[in-house]
Structures are given as C-alpha cells and as structure tokens.
Amino acid sequence: MWALAGIGEVRDGDDVAKLIAATEPGLADGDVLLVTSKIVSKAEGRIVAADDREAAIDAETVRVVARRGPLRIVENRQGLVMAAAGVDASNTPAGTVLLLPVDPDASARAIREGLRQTLGVDVGVIVTDTFGRPWRNGLTDVAIGAAGVRVLDDLRGGSDAHGNPLSATVVATADELAAAGDLVKGKAQGLPVAVVRGLPHVVADVDEGARAIVRVGADDMFRLGTSEAIREAVAQRRTVREFTDEPVDGGAVRRAVAAAVTAPAPHHTTPWRFVLLESASARAELLDAMRDAWIADLRRDGKSEESIAKRVRRGEVLRRAPYLVVPCLVMDGAHHYGDERRDAAEREMFVVAAGAGVQNFLVALAGERLGSAWVSSTMFCRDVVRDVLGLPEGWDPMGAIAVGHAAAEPKERPEREASAFIEVR
C-alpha cells in the first residue's frame, strides 16, 4: 500500500483519471485506488461561494439526525449520515466551501473507466471521505463511492474455524480499504490517492457501489439522536384503527409501561396501573360485558336501535386489536382536605398525571413501531370493568388502549401551527 505523489492542485474540469495516470503510478490489474473525495469534488466543480457554511449545510441536508449546539449530524443528498452534510471549508479558498460529489459511485466509475482507457488496467476505485463514528472517538476514512470493488463481503451461511455458523457477519471491505489507505495518504501531506495491491479478489465487474453500505432507515436502530428520536416518536404517534394479525411482543408493551411510569405525579405518588389483556378470551370477556353495559345505558337514554348499533361499531377498534391495555388511575397518596373544591382539584391533579403516563405509554409504543388507539369506553362502565378483570375498588379504568401492528399507513395529521396554541404574557 502506498500513496501517489505528484498529483498537485486539482481544478474544476480536470480529469482525475488522467491526473493519476500522469504520475506514472505503475498500476496493475487487481489494484485498488483510494481517491480522496476532495479532489473529485474540485474536478467536478463542487466548490461554491458560501460566506455562511451553515447555509450550505442546510442546502445539502435532507434530514437532521442529531444536533448538539452548532454541531449537526445529518443525512445529506447522497444518503450519507455524517457531520455537517460533508460540507468542507478546509483546503478551499476563503469565502467558499467544498461539497461532496453529486454521485460518488458515478465518479468512481468514471475514474475506473478513464484508467482503463488511459493505462489499459483493470482496477477498482473507491472514493473516500472522513467520518466520525457513533460510540468511538477519532475520525477515519470510509467509502462514499466505489466502482469495480466488492464493497461488502457477505460471510453469512459459512462457518468459523470451530465450525460455528456465521449468521450476521458481513464485512465492510470498502470501508476497511478506505481506512487503510488513509494511513499512507495522511490528512495534510497533499497525497490524495493511495494504491492497495495484493487483494485482487475484491476487484470485479460488479454493479454495486458504496451506496450498498448505507443502511436504510427501516433497518437502522440508531436512526436518530436522543432528542430527535423523542420528537419523532411523538410526531409519529397516530391513532391506529386497523391492525394486522401479527402478534404483539409483550416485552415491547412492558418496555412502554416502564416509560409510562416515569411521568410526573403529585406528592411523589405512582398513580398508574396497566392491566395487560394478552389472551383472546380475556379480551372477549371484557369487551362483551362492556358492550352489554353500554347498550343498556344507551337504551335507558332513549337512543334508537340504529343509533345504538352505530355507536357500538365505533368501539369495534378494540375487538380488531390483537392486544389490549387498560390503564387505571389509583389515588393512593392523595390528600383529603374535607373541602369539596380542594378535593376536586386534588383528583384533577391525579387525572392529569394519569394522562401523562398514558401519553408516555403511547409514545413509547410508537417507538417500538406499534400502533395504538386510546378509546375512552371503559370510563363509562368502570364497575363492569373492575368486576370482569377482578380489579380493586380503588382502581379507576381510564379507557382502553388497542395495540397492534398498523394494517396501513395512518392518515396524515392536519398541520397544526404551534403559535395558534400559545399565549404569551
């Protein structure tokens, strides 16, 4: 592995392949070239005037992943998650910034084809850039573009030296090469290209580029920073009324309960209880009893049978769910003043705390990728619910929550402007 000297300053319109060839690199079939993205960007005219680097970062950002002070980790237009969208203010004239290549894989293909035509060699090309990494200090180079290189080495289905099956081992070969190349290129030596020889098995006419290394959002367990994840979970919480038959993981529900009981409550109390109806028979028994009580109430109110049937249908969302949760309010630790006004306010405090716990629960379910619908019906027949579920007299059911996997994408929530809900004094 060695770096190529003599490339010099790269300018807009330069042919990177010809610049490399001009150094008389002595390339052979099966070599891999590691090309710093900066020279590719300069050759492709990706230097832009920008007195304000933050504005340039905004323009290149698709999604903010995490933010702390002025530092932003974002997903950029190339689909890469990195600091500052890859916008670089170093090694470029004052008042300008350097953007990443528009399509780093296409850039790598052009360099590879140019070297094939100029030098007659079949080499792999990797375009590299410098990344920080979660959970690790320090920077390293990774592959952001590739051509003619097997960027991933999938060892799944094989076995190790002891005969143990390999079920999760996929080696990021292109990233390992990029990091190795940076050892000889350095960050400030003016050596933007390195050559690796001796690994011909990674060079092949393959269509995959470095984009194959980028984990898609659905598979990324760490797609967001902490505060962004909380906001996203809150924003993505929707009332889901149609569910698939896919079973609900009871562990996920229990984790949501653990989040629920961190809600604020008066007098250092714990006013929440969550009854988990995990068996179909328990759900059916409760819902049948609630339906009968509800119909009896509606008939006493003089509602027509048509009206009653319509109202009962609204509660059917609970029957369509594969899992039910009944949150309950308990007043243990409440103060009793012997004054109707103050005792009513005391209960309101506990009801607000119960609502905060339920909100935590619903948001945590969304974070577990579970849909939910909070239905108030148990509040209208609390005695029936307590009797069927065998609950203590002091437990007040605060509705029922249908839980499951959404059968379809929830409808978009109407846009709400926060300022419409704010009064400042």
Range of the domain at 143: 2-46+100-219
What value does the mean pLDDT take over residues 68-73? 83
In a domain, 92, yes or no: no
Identify the pLDDT of residue 188. Answer: 67
What value does the mean pLDDT take over residues 158-174? 81
Query: Of all residues in the chain, what percent carry a pLDDT higher than 90?
Result: 64
Q: Which two tokens stand for residue 82?
A: 């990195």
Q: Which of 197, 219, 241 is the last residue of a domain?
A: 219
pLDDT higher than 90, residue 370: yes
The residue with greater pLDDT, 197 or 71, is 197
What value does the mean pLDDT take over residues 182-208? 90
273 and 342 inside one domain: yes
Mean pLDDT of the chain: 90
Q: Which of 184, 201, 219 is the last residue of a domain?
A: 219
The residue with greater pLDDT, 154 or 251, is 251
232 and 213 inside one domain: no
pLDDT higher than 90, residue 210: yes
Identify the pLDDT of residue 227. Answer: 76
User: Cα(188)–Cα(138) distance, rounded to whole angstroms?
Assistant: 16
Segment (H or E) for 365: helix 340-367
76-90 pLDDT, tens digit per residue, is 999 899 999 999 887
In a domain, 215, yes or no: yes
What value does the mean pLDDT take over residues 22-46? 95
Identify the pLDDT of residue 46. Answer: 93
In a domain, 88, yes or no: no
Query: Of all residues in the chain, what percent carry a pLDDT higher than 70?
Result: 99
User: Cα(383)–Cα(376) distance, rounded to whole angstroms?
Assistant: 14
| C-alpha pair distances (Å), 13 with each of 16, 24, 191, 193 | 9, 21, 20, 18
Q: How many CA atoms lie within 13 A of 86 on its CB side?
A: 27
| SS3 at position 71 | strand
177 and 252 inside one domain: no
In a domain, 55, yes or no: no
In a domain, 75, yes or no: no
Q: Which two tokens stand for residue 189?
A: 């030596």
What value does the mean pLDDT take over residues 343-370? 93
The C-alpha angle 65, 70, 73, rounded to 5 degrees, equals: 20
In a domain, 80, yes or no: no
304 and 165 inside one domain: no
Give the phi and the psi of residue 289 in degrees, each rounded to 5: -65, -40
201 and 230 inside one domain: no
Identify the pLDDT of residue 215. Answer: 86
273 and 134 inside one domain: no
386-405 pLDDT, tens digit per residue, is 999 999 999 999 999 999 99
145 and 270 inside one domain: no
207 and 237 inside one domain: no
182 and 316 inside one domain: no
233 and 310 inside one domain: yes
H helical segments located in 195-326: 226-236, 250-260, 280-300, 305-314, 317-320
User: Cα(72)–Cα(85) distance, rounded to whole angstroms?
Assistant: 8
Question: What's the domain count of the chain?
Answer: 2
- Quickly state the pLDDT bin for 256 (edges 50, 70, 90): very high
Find the CATH number of the domain harbouring 310: 3.40.109.10
What value does the mean pLDDT take over residues 255-262? 95
Q: Which of 171, 201, 219 is the last residue of a domain?
A: 219
Identify the pLDDT of residue 45. Answer: 94
The residue with greater pLDDT, 229 or 382, is 382
Beta strand 96-98 with 47-49: parallel, antiparallel or unpaired? antiparallel
Find the CATH number of the domain harbouring 127: 3.30.1330.100
In a domain, 262, yes or no: yes
The C-alpha angle 170, 173, 174, rounded to 5 degrees, equals: 130
Q: Which two tokens stand for residue 302?
A: 């003089």
Q: Answer for the pair 37, 145: CB distance below 8 angstroms, yes or no.
A: yes
Instruction: Pick the closest to residue 235 from 362, 342, 421 (CA basis).
Output: 362
Q: Answer for the pair 385, 290: CB distance below 8 angstroms, yes or no.
A: yes
243 and 368 inside one domain: yes
Identify the pLDDT of residue 345. Answer: 94
294 and 381 inside one domain: yes
Identify the pLDDT of residue 208. Answer: 86
The C-alpha angle 413, 418, 420, rounded to 5 degrees, equals: 105
Q: Answer for the pair 231, 397: CB distance below 8 angstroms, yes or no.
A: no
pLDDT higher than 70, residue 237: yes
- Quickly state the pLDDT bin for 312 (edges 50, 70, 90): confident
Instruction: Pick the closest to residue 242 from 126, 187, 322 (CA basis).
Output: 322
Flag the least confident range among 63-72, 160-169, 170-179: 160-169
What value does the mean pLDDT take over residues 406-414? 84
Instruction: Pick the closest to residue 16 from 115, 98, 88 (CA basis).
Output: 115
In a domain, 86, yes or no: no
End-to-end CA distance of the chain: 67
Q: Answer for the pair 39, 20: CB distance below 8 angstroms, yes or no.
A: no
